[in-house]
Structure 1
């Protein structure tokens, strides 16, 4: 990826959480920026939680670990690395919790030389020691050529 170029992308973000006998899904579309800095690639986008609350999300990829950083109404920092259990943090205005993720699958394909890419993560997630289930996150990226 060109070291100085920020590329605009359109994204579809999908999450599915399976916990015991029930599952929940969440999906949204947004625009973001994809860029390279040092030895890492970054994807940055804004996630609207409500009319008045939003979170700035950054995904940092070093070729081995994907780091998820959320800043805004919610603060979160969580790494994902296949076959490893990683410790993170989830903070709201009311409380702060330790998180753990055991990553089963991690696929990162930026739209390099192509107009499309994707990120897929499957992991077991715990919040303050409580299992929240199997999380599947899928991002579909498409270079945004509109001005």
Structure 2
């Protein structure tokens, strides 16, 4: 069963010697369970007005981020581990790696109306460190 949720999304990138770069938006999405995994699906809001649909799949141990649209990305996160993925634009495709420091997933299930997702990781594109990244989502059931 799909449940409508309100999502507050914030991402921050920390690069040594520079001011943190932050981006945030509020949107609505769907939260549902399929098999033994929970899925959170929503549309990202960007200034360039191109749609990117994101799905976060949580199986209790691994969080998989799947982005589809102008940008296609697949990256998994496992606490205290390195994971590999792919980042694709119309111009090129790159291998990615995430070294996840912190992973916290608490989804609004059962009687719980609110949940959150927090990921802090170092991100590598073609082997080059792009910085330390933080993703924060506040998720609240609407129905």
Q: Is the 8 A contact 2:25 2:45 kept in 1?
A: no
CA positional deviation for 1:49: 2.8
Deviation at 1:104, TM superposition (A): 0.5
| Aligned residue in 2 for 1:54 | 51
1:11 — aligned with what?
A: 7
Q: 1:90 and 2:83 equivalent? A: no
Runs of 5+ consecutive residues of structure 1 not aligned to the other structure? none
TM-score with structure 2 length normalisation?
A: 0.95
Would you identify which runs of 4 or more consecutive aligned residues in structure 1 move more than 3 Å?
A: none
Deviation at 1:51, TM superposition (A): 5.4
Match of 2:23 in 1: 26
Residue 110 of structure 1 is matched in structure 2 by 107
User: Which residue does 1:36 correspond to in 2?
Assistant: 33
Mapped to 1, the partners of 2:13 and 2:22 lie a distance apart of 6
Aligned residues: 141
Q: For the structure 1 residues 87 and 51, does the alpha-carbon distance in structure 2 shift closer, same or farther, using more than 3 Å as the test?
A: closer
**Root mean square deviation, CA, Å:** 1.0
Equivalent position SS for 2:87? strand
Q: Which residue of structure 1 lines up, in the alignment, with residue 121 of structure 2?
A: 123
Q: Please point out which of 31, 45, 66 is paired with 2:63.
A: 66
**Distance change (3 Å), C-alpha of 1:57 and 1:134:** same
TM score, norm. by length of structure 1: 0.93
Unaligned runs of 5+ in 2: none
1:19 to partner: Cα distance? 0.6
